[in-house]
Structure 1
Amino acid sequence: MREKQQKQMPLISLPTGHPREVELEMISKILDKTPNIYDHVLQDLNGGLKIERQRTGANGMSAEQVTRAAIVMKLFNFTYEDLAFHISDSRSLRRFCRIGIFDKGFKKSALNENIKRICPETWELISLDLLAYAKDNNIEKGRTTRVDCTVVESNIHPPCDSMQLYDAVRVLARLLTQARDDFKIKIVFTDHRRRAKRRMTAIQYAKGKKQRLSPYKDLLKVTQKSIGYAIKAEETIGGICTTNFELLGLLNSIKHYSDLARQVYDQTYRRVIQGESVSADQKVFSIFEEHTDIIIKDRRDNHYGHKICLTGGASNLILDCVVLEGNPADSTLVEQMLDRQKSAYGRYPLKVALDGGFASKGNLNTAKAKGVKDVCFAKKRGLEEIDMCRSHYVYKKLRQFRAGIESGISWLKRSFGLTRCTWKGFRSFKSYVLSSVVAANLLTIARKQLAPAG
């Protein structure tokens, strides 16, 4: 059965005093003082089952070890393979993850499986526990906040229709080949991968719209054929009464990618052949990360991923993080972000500084009605300084304060991997973002407590 924490501390080496090691030791103390974190993680690892029922089987990783390994992964921006190596090789990381000298460490597959079990809601609860710790230790009171949005990209290639059609053909061909060769299912189909790749390349190197039309038509043709093969394969496999879970998983994959291939075919046919303008909410930007949204910034830069809204505090802690679906305007998020601050701290902040995209007369009135004394929008958009803040001096100070969140966002992107999410699926996308925020907050709190007084 899984454990919340180690019943007895394993034999571990002594610290050496390296600055990064000192930070890890302080983070370890913070985690020990907030034991509720391990309770949250334990619920995910046990799948909601009562601990008393789990009397047999290997112990595996404890909730404490999983939590600490996930934090190490984010602090050092490791891949799972790097994480497995460094936890086994580094004395300081072994001590931080509570792994004894004579223990082997963990394989990357075990780390992957356990860390991915921590759901986004759990990471949010962990973040709230850390904010409560920061409040109790006079690090952050949440009285002055700043709000801004940024984009975290999905791990996809540029979503050209031709590349997506090729992706659909090659994935369906691979799955059908697996069903035929590995499971001996009698499926008749033609592998069009080479043909689809040639047509995709011809489209990419075509000099004009007329030159692209012919290879597009042929690529659509082979995509339609591949979809037809997949539909027949679904009927064949579905007609087999089997308890083979691998085969059932393969059938689900064929259905999943067949549906996405039809969507890509439809949007490409409408755009290229019929000349329609297909709206973003009707498009699939990746058959591998179908949750991906298109985010257009300042009417010039296109990003493919998800918009996140961050609230920062005077201590440089990230007080809140929301992963958004679609591309809602910043001006629609003000009330939501203020209400979330009240949920976290039991009251609304006294001062709020926001980016110019949040500015509107309605948002100003909403914030004032909630008891916010000073509201600063980086761009006035027709609003008067004296209407937003109690004085011009306060507005100027808040406007300067707001700029600090830009450096915080840059730090998250450079040091914690928030430029691009490398985890698959929307649930994992949210976990990836929120775990990065938790790791950044832990490091910020640790450095605050290590800083000399005064």
Structure 2
Amino acid sequence: MREVHRRQFRLGEVPIEQIWLDPKSRDDIPAVLKGLQHIWSDEALRARLFALLEEHVQPEVDHAVGRPGMALWPVLVLGVLKQGLGCDFDRLHDLANNHGKVRAFLGHGDFGDETHYECQTIRDNVSLLTPELLSAVGQLVVESGHKVAKKKPGEPLRGRCDSFVVETDVHYPTDVNLLWDAMRCLIRETGRAAVKHAVGGWRQWRHLSREVRKLFNGVRSTRRAKRRPERVEAYLERCRGLVERAVATVDTLGDEGIAASTCQSIRGLIAHARRQLDQVERRLLRDETIPHGEKVFSIFKEHTRWISKGKAGTPVELGVPVALIEDQHQFILHHRILWQGEDVDVAVPMVEEAQALYPALRACSFDRGFHSPTNRVRLDALLDVNALPGSGYLSKANRERESEESFVSARRAHPAIESAINGLEHRGLDRVRSHGADGFARAVALSVLAANLHRIGLLLQKRERKRLRWAA
């Protein structure tokens, strides 16, 4: 049984719309909470938000039956706070249990309410927020934010589009250390499953892991490995033997009807180990060059990409690029995760998707990395002002086009998107530690939502400070 929000007030509980937040505070918590309070205070907007939460959170489950679970509004508040503050679950756990204002937004009073949240409970409930739900909620927030920013009816939106790399929590990858990652996890998972279900061959799995680590230490640097190829052969031979033993063990576990998830996890690690065995042998013993398309840069976060944009001081970034469009009111209209492809591949889809959400988007600026002749033509058909600068030598017609007042004005406003990117990096997107592609997408969507709510909160705080100055 799960409600969107508890309908019955408790003794000492303050209605969310009446919670006082210091307009002079420069901390992020009051600004984010102010944005959430604004959404709550609008009854029509709140009804739409509640309908989205009921529709998208575990739609396969009947929320009217079963034991009570955490209400959906507190789940959204905690998820937004986590990314809005760029904190981990441990700090969020402390805030949920000890921060008075945060507890008031969760629906707890300060008189006799000793409700305590466990850290794992918070983790499990925040993970119920899907990227699709957060994108739909984000659209409601942006529409409300435009009213707060006093966007005039019929005023066109002027966007600026750019991308940045959101790093994943991985170490620097080499084929040798990725093989070690696969082997240590394979030995651990297979050993535990074998011991638990009385399958022989893995009683000393901890010793086997130490043995493989010792062999890995002898070849972990390329210089050391190429000078001593016999060490590489010994490392590979030992790993192959353990992989074949794991294959026999997982077949035995499967025949005995052991949990399919355990067998699937072990088979996935076997596939990782076999790929790395092949690549280490080809590179170090046969002196081959491994094609980029065959490489995997983390066995734990397989969506990680190797990004080299030629930036000074940052030759390589390990993560996933994220493209976004921000409007003139500093709200992020749309974002897209680039699991594959480059900036030039998403310029047109980004504008088309943003216009499907916000038809008033009539102008947009880009960097040169988004340029291609096809993109130029297609964006000219979509936008009134297409500030897409050409790359390379410009013809006379293109120089005249880029000298137009509307183009120059859009390009001058374009660098402001770096502020939005910096804000997202301070809201959890400097490095995403969530597991899996779904966790990564959830973290990105939550950060974008938190950034827009923070923007609303700042505008309302500024308005309140101005009112207080006039009243003084």
TM-score, normalization by structure 2: 0.86
The reply on whether 1:94 has 2:103 as its aligned counterpart is yes
Helix, strand or coil for the counterpart of 1:297?
coil
Please show how residues 4-403 of structure 1 align to structure 2 within 5 Å: 4-10=4-10, 11-12=12-13, 15=20, 17=22, 19=25, 20=27, 22-32=30-40, 33=42, 34-35=45-46, 36-51=48-63, 54-57=64-67, 59-101=68-110, 102-139=113-150, 143-187=157-201, 191=205, 192-205=208-221, 207=223, 210-211=226-227, 213-241=229-257, 247-298=259-310, 301-326=315-340, 328-347=341-360, 349-377=361-389, 382=394, 387-389=400-402, 391-403=403-415
After superposition, the C-alpha distances for 1:45-76 in whole angstroms (9 at most, x for unaligned) are 3343344xx3231x221110100011111122
Contact 2:148 2:460 in 1 (8 A): no
Amino acid at match of 1:336: P
d(CA) in 2 for partners of 1:262 and 1:40?
Answer: 44
Following TM superposition, by how much is the alpha carbon of 1:369 offset from its aligned partner in structure 2, in angstroms? 1.7
Amino acid at match of 2:365: A
d(CA) in 2 for partners of 1:212 and 1:151?
Answer: 38
Q: Structure 1 residues 291-300 or 317-326, which shifts more?
A: 291-300
Helix, strand or coil for the counterpart of 1:451?
helix
Following TM superposition, by how much is the alpha carbon of 1:178 offset from its aligned partner in structure 2, in angstroms? 0.7
Following TM superposition, by how much is the alpha carbon of 1:142 offset from its aligned partner in structure 2, in angstroms? 5.9
Contact 1:364 1:388 in 2 (8 A): no
d(CA) in 1 for partners of 2:187 and 2:156?
Answer: 54
In the alignment, structure 2 segments of 5+ residues that lack a partner are 468-472
Residue 24 and residue 317 in structure 1: after superposition, are their counterparts in 2 closer, same or farther (change >3 A)? closer
Residue 215 and residue 100 in structure 1: after superposition, are their counterparts in 2 closer, same or farther (change >3 A)? farther
Contact 1:145 1:352 in 2 (8 A): yes
Amino acid at match of 1:6: R
Following TM superposition, by how much is the alpha carbon of 1:298 offset from its aligned partner in structure 2, in angstroms? 2.4
Following TM superposition, by how much is the alpha carbon of 1:16 offset from its aligned partner in structure 2, in angstroms? 6.3
Amino acid at match of 1:178: R
Amino acid at match of 2:454: L
d(CA) in 1 for partners of 2:21 and 2:372?
Answer: 54
Contact 2:82 2:92 in 1 (8 A): yes
Following TM superposition, by how much is the alpha carbon of 1:382 offset from its aligned partner in structure 2, in angstroms? 2.2
In the alignment, structure 1 segments of 5+ residues that lack a partner are none
Helix, strand or coil for the counterpart of 1:409?
helix
Number of corresponding residues: 443
Amino acid at match of 2:143: A
Q: Structure 1 residues 438-447 or 328-337, which shifts more?
A: 328-337
d(CA) in 1 for partners of 2:157 and 2:21?
Answer: 39
Amino acid at match of 2:358: Y
Amino acid at match of 2:183: V
* Aligned counterpart for 1:405 among listed residues 414, 417, 425: 417
Cα RMSD after superposing both structures: 2.6
d(CA) in 1 for partners of 2:459 and 2:291?
Answer: 47
Contact 1:335 1:367 in 2 (8 A): yes
TM-score, normalization by structure 1: 0.89
* Aligned counterpart for 1:437 among listed residues 448, 453, 465: 448
Contact 2:250 2:267 in 1 (8 A): yes
After superposition, the C-alpha distances for 1:152-191 in whole angstroms (9 at most, x for unaligned) are 1111111111111111111111112212333323345764
Structure with the greater relative contact order (CA < 8 A, sep ≥ 6): 1 or 2?
Answer: 2
Q: Percent identity?
A: 20
